[in-house]
Chain A
Amino acid sequence: EDQVTQSPEALRLQEGESSSLNCSYTVSGLRGLFWYRQDPGKGPEFLFTLYSAGEEKEKERLKATLTKKESFLHITAPKPEDSATYLCAVRGNKLVFGAGTILRVKS
């Protein structure tokens, strides 16, 4: 069975304090790994799709990387508006989500 584990469950950062979120996965036949951002009471907002080990994608303060077993979402110099739940999902036969990492950035 495909599985996704995200860590940490919650992360508190000071504004400007860079860090990384982890997504470990097991999947038979990876067809894509996805990162989403979800704000309270809203649907997930698409951030990145990664397809193969070694691939990297960047968008503003966020950078996603992928290996054969895990993905990292690096946040450089975060701002309070980056506060949200970050969801990782893998596509094997279907899209399976991790439980998410709740990020709080304090000014």
Chain B
Amino acid sequence: GAVVSQHPSRVICKSGTSVKIECRSLDFQATTMFWYRQFPKKSLMLMATSNEGSKATYEQGVEKDKFLINHASLTLSTLTVTSAHPEDSSFYICSARRLSGQETQYFGPGTRLLVL
């Protein structure tokens, strides 16, 4: 299989606090992980590409100081939303690509963030 987990599945926080979301590939190693954001009834928008051991590559318009990404190992990437505001409320989804070089991305179950 190709199982990707995310934690937490749901988080509510106060405005101004930081929130960390973990993404793990459970049964395979992934040199590359991706972070997406999805608004209600919209499709997924790529935020950043995370490579193990190097800095993440952010898409145009995504603030790298606000969305901190760390890819510390071949099975773990984290997204930290710093100084969260209500407009950061969204569904955040990660994906992982196998070491073998195949193009298929396997997605996690998503994290629902609500900033009050």
Contacts and interface: CB of A to CB of B under 8 A. Distances in A.
Interface of A: 31-32, 34, 36, 41-46, 49, 51, 87, 91, 94-100
A19 B44 CA distance: 25
B109 A43 contact: yes
Contacts, number: 50
Nearest to B105: A95
B103 interface: yes
A70 B10 CA distance: 36
Contacts of B49: 94
Interface residues of B, number: 24
B46 interface: yes
Given A46-B2, A87-B43, A98-B43, A41 B107 contact: no
B104 A34 contact: yes
Contacts of A96: 46
A44 B93 contact: yes
18 contacts: A31-B103, A34-B104, A34-B105, A36-B107, A41-B91, A42-B110, A43-B93, A43-B108, A43-B109, A46-B2, A46-B104, A46-B105, A49-B102, A87-B43, A87-B44, A94-B59, A95-B105, A99-B43
